[in-house]
Structure 1
Amino acid sequence: MVGERLIDLANAVRASADPSRAALAELLARHGEHPDDLTEQSFSEDDADRLRTAARRIAHLLTEADTDRAAHAINALLAECGARPHLSRHGGHAWHLHVDRGEDAGWADWFLASSALALAQILTEYGRVPWGECAASRCTTLYLGTGPGSARRYCSTACASRERVAAHRRRKRAAGG
């Protein structure tokens, strides 16, 4: 899923300011990119550097909690991509939607365009921003809360539980018990 890929890449550049080309290639492979497309010739250090920059831009967008500001930021990315949607089939993949500048688009262009399209679809489906940064006190992980139920505030059940337990202990201490 494009949403999972964009979250994983955004978290990768937040966790390490400069994840290696190999680490990015491995992450892309986990999300279905063909190994032949991830060799040093097809996915160079320069491509990796541009992808890191693009992923930082998406990470910044994922910290935007205001729906209107997020929508304007997504529109700006879509306008920057400047291409019409088209169906593409390559590398053994089924037909799928691309919004980049075509088969010759670089990795960063592809990532920004596909991420902007995915976030636009998610925002319109939910009518609000269902993504964000974990609300746990010592966690900065980005999440995509597209599951059922109420809006998420935490990246995982572990962070949510840890915060609930800490709040319970604070209340108990404050009550003298």
Structure 2
Amino acid sequence: MNQQGFQPAQRLIDIASAVRTTPDLSRAALAELLAHHDESPDDLTGAAFSDEDARELRDAAVLMSGILAEADIDRAALALNRVLAAHASAPRLSRHDGHAWHLHVDHGDDAGWGAWFLASGALALARILSEHGRVTWGACEASNCRNFYLGTGPGSPRRYCSTTCASRARVAAHRRRKQQAAPTDGRPSR
């Protein structure tokens, strides 16, 4: 079990990134991601998490990807409000499967996987936006990367999902600048 408690924003980032990278992500891969985020193994097998549930979750991840790619605070807030209006209900505290008390805003224990994901993900992003006063998430700016990031720490706003992507982008930019500064008389530059 995750010792830090539920992290719905990170779960959103991980699932949306996985679906963005692999749009037809399998039910088994989604179940593995959910298990990594402390969803009960009993809830991820057989009829409890069917192929239809996986499709619903993938569709929800695609919808949330549009919000995760939105950098404008006003447009992000309006999009989050639309998702919350459509998929959330009055907040309630829940404790199940050995977890500590945590907040649920879906339409009840019988809500589908997609509706649950939309409600919990939208609430997580809305809390982050209101606490930080800005959009702290986004799509990685590294070329050939399809991941999202969540940047809630101090310092400059993030632009990359990982230090690997940031380093790769810096090296590529350095090489471009060096190539552009190279003399045109055929002599090698130093």
| Normalised-by-shorter TM-score class | over 0.9
Displacement of 1:6 after TM fit? 0.3
Question: Which runs of 5 or more residues in structure 1 are unaligned?
Answer: none
Deviates more, 1:66-75 or 1:85-94: 85-94
| Pair 1:30-2:15 in alignment | no
Question: Which one-letter code corresponds to 2:106 in the other structure?
Answer: D
Q: 1:83 aligns with which of 61, 77, 89?
A: 89
**Structure 2 match to 1:115:** 121
Displacement of 1:173 after TM fit? 2.3
Q: 2:135 aligns with which of 117, 129, 142?
A: 129
Displacement of 1:64 after TM fit? 0.6
Deviations 1:65-114 (A, max 9, x none): 11000000000011002410001111221111000011111111111000
CA contact (8 A) 2:19 2:25 kept: yes
Displacement of 1:42 after TM fit? 0.8
| Pair 1:105-2:108 in alignment | no
Question: Which one-letter code corresponds to 1:58 in the other structure?
Answer: M
Q: 2:172 aligns with which of 152, 166, 172?
A: 166
Tell me the number of residue pairs that the alignment of Structure 1 and Structure 2 aligns.
Answer: 177
CA contact (8 A) 2:140 2:160 kept: yes
Displacement of 1:149 after TM fit? 1.1
Displacement of 1:175 after TM fit? 2.2
Question: Which runs of 5 or more residues in structure 2 are unaligned?
Answer: 1-6, 183-188
Deviations 1:120-159 (A, max 9, x none): 0011111111111111122221111112211011111111
TM-score by length of 1: 0.96
Displacement of 1:31 after TM fit? 0.3
Deviates more, 1:29-38 or 1:140-149: 140-149
Shift >6 Å, 4+ stretches: none
**Structure 2 match to 1:65:** 71
**Structure 2 match to 1:147:** 153
